[in-house]
Amino acid sequence: MKTFSLSPKASALLVVLFSVFSFLSTSHCQVTQGVSSDGRDFYVGMVLPEVYRESGGTNFTIFKSYILITTAVENSVAVSYFDDATGKEQTSQSYKIAANSGIQVPLNTSSVKMDEPGEIPQFRACHISAKYPVNVEYFSEGADAGGSYLALQTNSLGKKYVIASYPDAQPSIPTQMVSSGFFEIIAPFDNTVVSITPNTTTKGGHPGVHSGTGASGVAKPFKVTLRRGQCYLVKSAGTEADADISGSVVESTLPIAVLAGHENALITTASFQSDSRDFMIEEMLPVESWDSTGYVSLPLKDSQPFDQTREGVGENYRMYAYDQVGVNAQMIEVNVGARELSSARFATPAAERFGVLNPIEMHSTDGKLFSVMMYDQRDFGNNYPIPGPSMMSIVPISHWQKRYSWYIPYSSQQTSVSNFINIIGKKDEIASGIAMSHNGSAYKSVKLILTQEAVYYAIPNHPDLAGVRLIAYPGSYSAYSLNPFMVYEFGFHPVGPDGDFDADEFFPSNANPCGALLFSGDPAKITTVIDSQCTQWNICAIDGRTNDPGIRSITLLKDPDGTEYQPAKQSVNCRIDPLTDDKNLGQLIYPGNESRICVSIQIEDPLIPAYAAILITDNAGNVKLSELTYRPPAFAVTPSSSEIYFAGVTVGRDTCVDIVVKNAESLAHNATTASLDPRTMFSIASVTPPLPVLLRHNDSLIVHLCYHPQDTLLALNTLRLDIDCFTIGKHLIATGSTGLITATDRTFDKVDSGKSVMKNVTVTNIGKQPFTLTKSWKLIGSTAFAFIDSQKLPVVLQPGSATAFNFNYSPKAVGVDSALMRWSTDILAPYNESIKSYSQLSGVGNRVIITRAVHESSATKNISVRPNPASGSSVILSFGFETEKAVAVSVFDVLGRNVFEKTVTGLNEIEIPIRKLPNGCYTIRVNSEGIISTEKFEVAR
């Protein structure tokens, strides 16, 4: 990730459109409230239960694993995996989630399943990122495969862990193998060096401290280096029924996630005809987030009818220590009293209390840190639920939250599902003060949404607290209260065809906390250096602690629900520099080994107010809130909109606008340059007064901007006016437009000579601008056509309007006449002829009558043609009179072409050859002493 260091005169400037001058103020608030397990970035993993990794494992198809994602606000989430060979993060799958809702996403098992027996780095992590904070849980189902854990966001992970598991178990069915405890390490950062000290010998042959081959009571750590997205699985050897990987220590140079549990644990000897074991998994809380007191817990639901004498009833509690000398603790159980426990690093067996039936509280008597894990026992009663081995981290009171989101999974393969939640909080709030939403419903009192199953008013050492167990249903939940409280969820998911206890059922269970705040208690010493630069803040966060200092994250809060910080903060009109936050997630997460980190927060639109709530987190879980306020400058810009539209400007003509900038500030500012992107059609005609100029209070600057379209395409540009270190900008959006001419054609059909027919053609403007029909028209072709309405021109045609113009047709001969009327307009090329700027005229001269030039008589002489129609090689033309003087005989085809011509004297008939004439109609014209007679005949073969 890109960072920078500030100099006393930092000058890095961001040129942002519409920005003028900034007024910024800053306030700070530093608290030690912890980092929520909810967040925007997660790395999760999966360990395959024993029954599905065995050769020929039972019913592998019914094993399923999921990630459960819930959100308090409308959100978008991306889920991705890593290429197993290269480690490259693959394309993510995106999901949209409604407010106060959640989704159940199946895990891609092949992408997260670790190869057995483990102890090799593999890219098997699932990476989850969200726009706003989400809660993430893991859930698996199937025969002996029920398990769940609360995933911790990357920002809350630690570097020291103690493993919680259970002894390797001999199964109830002798043919099955001894099952192993396990832990899996997930690396969110490259170059993570992990030191592992197993408490029992591992499948990879690393000797344990206290059990297994090679155990000598001496810690023998080994190291492995992991890249981002790599996982490392460690299992106990699985050859000794009493070996226990619990108490193993995992330490790293960078924060890691650690899963731990048992691949098929047997807790109590309660048995049935089927195997009594079950898969267990939990994400470990880092040692840095342990406490010395306030571990409060309620019992889970047992089989019914309840019989406390029955084996397997109640819960077991284990305490784990990191301290080498040891931790002394006390468990107080209602109706039982106090019992002492003690533990140390690598303790074997782990300090444990069995079959606890009532609410408890645990605290150390020497003030040292420890952790507590609850284990539900196998308990077969006569009715559901049937608890199976499961484990659940107990969250101390100091790490409780005021708001939770969680998800209870759906299952299509289970015969009878029982889900519950335990809530612990202030007595008055347990009664009516906790509000809950289920599947996005309106918030109501918890008791109006869920059915109360049991209430516990006595909480040891905490008379102000009470607890309640509620029957829950699948789906998403959100809950909040005025004071911190705690929510645990657990469920029983029997798998079988009939549910009649005839040895074909499996009874898996799951349990996990629904959230937590994580911090070490090391007092905060976060300071900030803020440099205000025009339209951005440059911020350096500095962790001044001497004990392993480091900044873990810088978050631009957009958190209306208050998940990341209380009270809720919502940043407005700003974002983290896109060079460092290219996905605009609003959060930068670091390994936590640098005590000084610098980033830039940029104002998106400096003409409106901006507010940045920046949450800085150190690697101890301390947070500091810096609130930055931006007041927009008192520069008046007219027009005020960020975009200027030039819509439908006539092609070839200028349209201009004045942009007026007035300095309403009391301070003077230098206006230096006005510029456009290097594109055509826009121009700055003038700037008044000329630049550069000093704008004093109430001075104005006028930019005369013009648009000269050359076509009708969309044109974009940006006007920039530089004032001091800022830029006023306007997006320019324009389209040219023009008139467009289209003209109709006209056919006059057949007209006799000596006659005249008038018809019209229509000229239409189908464009978006008016145009003028000018007098520069041209009529080309036959002179038989005449433009009658030329006196109408010039005429202006508005968009969508049309005008009709008349033409005369007066044929002068037999045959076809044609002409072309070319209209003239003031439309610029190429649009003047882009559609149709001409009218095609056509007509046919049918019969020509010519009066005698010499004789006064106009009577025609009789002529005839035979045969008609003709199919032979000639026709006979008879005059009906004997010619005394020369008579001219001509034959024309339908196009007026002369195909035969002959002059005769002293005959009354002649033979006209037609052998070479094609089929069709022909006209014979006879000119006798100025008298013209015509006759038609047809050739039809």
**Secondary structure in 3-state letters for 906-923:** CCCEEEEECCCCCCEEEE
Across residues 756-775, what is the average pLDDT? Answer: 94
Return the HEC string of 508-522: CEEEEECCCEECCCC
Beta-carbon-side half-sphere exposure of residue 346 (alpha carbons within 13 Å):
19
Helices (H), 828-876: none
Is the confidence at residue 174, as pLDDT, over 80?
no
For the stretch 855-864, contacts whose Cβ atoms lie closer than 8 Å and that sit 24 or more positions apart, written own/partner, are 855/929, 855/930, 855/931, 857/931, 858/931, 859/931, 860/931, 860/932, 860/933, 861/926, 861/928, 861/931, 861/933, 862/933, 863/924, 863/926, 863/933, 863/935, 864/935
Collapsing DSSP to helix, strand or coil, 155 comes out as helix
Instruction: Find the helix or strand (DSSP H, E) in which 644 lies.
Output: strand 643-650
DSSP bridge partners of 23: 631
Is the confidence at residue 419, as pLDDT, over 90?
yes
Identify the band that residue 859 occupies on the pLDDT scale cut at 50, 70 and 90: very low
Residue 220's pLDDT is: 94
DSSP characters for 654-721?
-EEEEEEEEE-SSS-EEEEEEEE-S-SSEEEEEEESPSSEEE-TT-EEEEEEEE--SSSSEEEEEEEE
Q: Which residue has the higher pLDDT, 309 or 315?
A: 315
* Each residue's pLDDT tens digit, 664-716: 888 888 999 999 988 778 999 999 999 999 999 999 999 999 999 988 888 99
CA torsion through residues 35, 39, 40, 46, sign: positive
Collapsing DSSP to helix, strand or coil, 595 comes out as coil
Instruction: Find the helix or strand (DSSP H, E) in which 109 lies.
Output: helix 109-112
Rounded distance, CA 299 to CA 316, Å?
A: 10
Is the confidence at residue 11, as pLDDT, over 80?
no
Across residues 847-851, what is the average pLDDT? Answer: 54
Q: Which residue has the higher pLDDT, 531 or 268?
A: 531
Identify the band that residue 15 occupies on the pLDDT scale cut at 50, 70 and 90: very low
β-strands 746-751, 838-845 pairing: parallel
Cβ atoms of 528 and 551 within 8 Å: the answer is: no
**Strands, sheet with 909-913, edge to edge from the N-terminal-most edge strand:** 864-866, 874-878, 909-913
Rounded distance, CA 274 to CA 506, Å?
A: 7
DSSP characters for 568-607?
-EE-BSEEE-TTT-TT--SEEE--S--SEEEEEEEES-TT
Rounded distance, CA 889 to CA 933, Å?
A: 10
Cβ atoms of 243 and 236 within 8 Å: the answer is: yes
By mean pLDDT, which of 284-298, 821-835, 865-879 is the weakest? 865-879
β-strands 401-408, 337-343 pairing: unpaired
Identify the band that residue 351 occupies on the pLDDT scale cut at 50, 70 and 90: very high
Collapsing DSSP to helix, strand or coil, 582 comes out as coil
Look at the chain and count its residues: 941
Rounded distance, CA 64 to CA 109, Å?
A: 8
Collapsing DSSP to helix, strand or coil, 933 comes out as strand
Rounded distance, CA 575 to CA 543, Å?
A: 23
Rounded distance, CA 498 to CA 521, Å?
A: 52
Cβ atoms of 408 and 475 within 8 Å: the answer is: yes
Burial of 51 (0-12, 13-18, 19+ CB in 10 A): buried
Q: Which residue has the higher pLDDT, 460 or 169?
A: 460
Helices and strands (H and E) in the chain: how many: 4, 69
Q: Of the candidates 451, 160, 546, which has an alpha carbon nearest to the alpha carbon of residue 322?
A: 160
DSSP bridge partners of 920: 939
Residue 848's pLDDT is: 57
Q: Of the candidates 424, 453, 418, which has an alpha carbon nearest to the alpha carbon of residue 516?
A: 424
Identify the band that residue 21 occupies on the pLDDT scale cut at 50, 70 and 90: very low
Across residues 230-254, what is the average pLDDT? Answer: 93
Identify the band that residue 8 occupies on the pLDDT scale cut at 50, 70 and 90: very low
Identify the band that residue 502 occupies on the pLDDT scale cut at 50, 70 and 90: low
Rounded distance, CA 917 to CA 899, Å?
A: 8
Residue 312's pLDDT is: 84
Rounded distance, CA 253 to CA 23, Å?
A: 42
Cβ partners under 8 Å of residue 179, min gap 6: 50, 168, 169, 171, 238, 262, 263, 264, 265, 266, 277
Cβ atoms of 629 and 604 within 8 Å: the answer is: no
Rounded distance, CA 204 to CA 220, Å?
A: 14
Residue 860's pLDDT is: 54
pLDDT above 90 covers a percentage of the chain that reads 63
Across residues 734-749, what is the average pLDDT? Answer: 93
* Each residue's pLDDT tens digit, 72-127: 999 999 999 999 999 999 988 999 999 999 999 999 999 999 998 999 999 999 99
Return the HEC string of 743-791: ECCEEEEEECCCCCEEEEEEEEECCCCCEEECCCCEEEECCCEEECCHH
Rounded distance, CA 274 to CA 277, Å?
A: 9
Residue 4's pLDDT is: 40
Residue 29's pLDDT is: 57
Rounded distance, CA 537 to CA 387, Å?
A: 56
Cβ atoms of 26 and 624 within 8 Å: the answer is: no
Q: Rounded to the nearest 5 degrees, what angle is found at the Cα of 505, between the Cα atoms of 500 and 509?
A: 115
Cβ neighbour number for residue 907 with a 10 Å cutoff: 12
By mean pLDDT, which of 66-70, 457-461, 841-845, 920-924 is the weakest? 920-924
Cβ neighbour number for residue 106 with a 10 Å cutoff: 9
Q: Of the candidates 571, 444, 476, 481, which has an alpha carbon nearest to the alpha carbon of residue 132?
A: 571
**What is the distance, to the nearest Å, from the Cα of residue 133 to the centroid of all Cα atoms in its chain?**
15
* Each residue's pLDDT tens digit, 565-587: 888 899 999 999 999 998 888 99
Instruction: Quote the DSSP letter at residue 275.
Output: -
pTM, rounded to two decimals: 0.72
Q: Of the candidates 653, 594, 590, 701, which has an alpha carbon nearest to the alpha carbon of residue 20?
A: 701
Identify the band that residue 55 occupies on the pLDDT scale cut at 50, 70 and 90: very low
Q: Which two tokens stand for residue 759?
A: 């018809």
Residue 503's pLDDT is: 56
φ/ψ of residue 753, rounded to 5: -65, 150
By mean pLDDT, which of 307-316, 319-328, 348-357 is the weakest? 307-316
Burial of 189 (0-12, 13-18, 19+ CB in 10 A): buried
φ/ψ of residue 792, rounded to 5: -70, -25
Cβ atoms of 170 and 247 within 8 Å: the answer is: no
Lookup result for tokens 């006059």: 748
Lookup result for tokens 């195997």: 275
* Each residue's pLDDT tens digit, 583-639: 888 999 999 999 999 999 999 887 788 999 999 999 999 999 999 998 877 788 999
* Each residue's pLDDT tens digit, 257-280: 999 999 989 888 655 445 678 899
Amino acid in the structure at residue 76: S
* Each residue's pLDDT tens digit, 550-567: 999 999 998 888 888 888
Amino acid in the structure at residue 620: A
Q: Which residue has the higher pLDDT, 9 or 640?
A: 640
Select the highest-mean-pLDDT range: 249-253, 504-508, 926-930.
249-253
Rounded distance, CA 77 to CA 104, Å?
A: 12
Identify the band that residue 194 occupies on the pLDDT scale cut at 50, 70 and 90: very high
Q: Which residue has the higher pLDDT, 636 or 475?
A: 475
> Considering the chain, what is the average pLDDT of its residues?
88
Amino acid in the structure at residue 331: M
* Each residue's pLDDT tens digit, 362-410: 999 999 999 999 999 988 777 778 888 999 999 999 999 999 999 999 8
DSSP bridge partners of 129: 41, 78
Is the confidence at residue 858, as pLDDT, over 50?
no
Residue 680's pLDDT is: 75
Q: Which two tokens stand for residue 744?
A: 């109709």
DSSP characters for 341-408?
EEE-TT-SSPEEEEEE-S-EEEEESS---BEEEEEEPP---SBS-----EEEEPPPGGG-EEEEEEEE
Residue 19's pLDDT is: 33
Residue 710's pLDDT is: 87
Q: Of the candidates 306, 274, 280, which has an alpha carbon nearest to the alpha carbon of residue 497?
A: 274
Q: Of the candidates 426, 439, 434, 428, which has an alpha carbon nearest to the alpha carbon of residue 470?
A: 434
Residue 3's pLDDT is: 41
Residue 361's pLDDT is: 98
By mean pLDDT, which of 28-32, 87-91, 488-492, 838-842 is the weakest? 28-32
Is the confidence at residue 25, as pLDDT, over 90?
no
By mean pLDDT, which of 211-220, 263-272, 308-317, 734-743 is the weakest? 263-272
Across residues 290-301, what is the average pLDDT? Answer: 96
Identify the band that residue 527 occupies on the pLDDT scale cut at 50, 70 and 90: very high
Across residues 825-845, what is the average pLDDT? Answer: 92
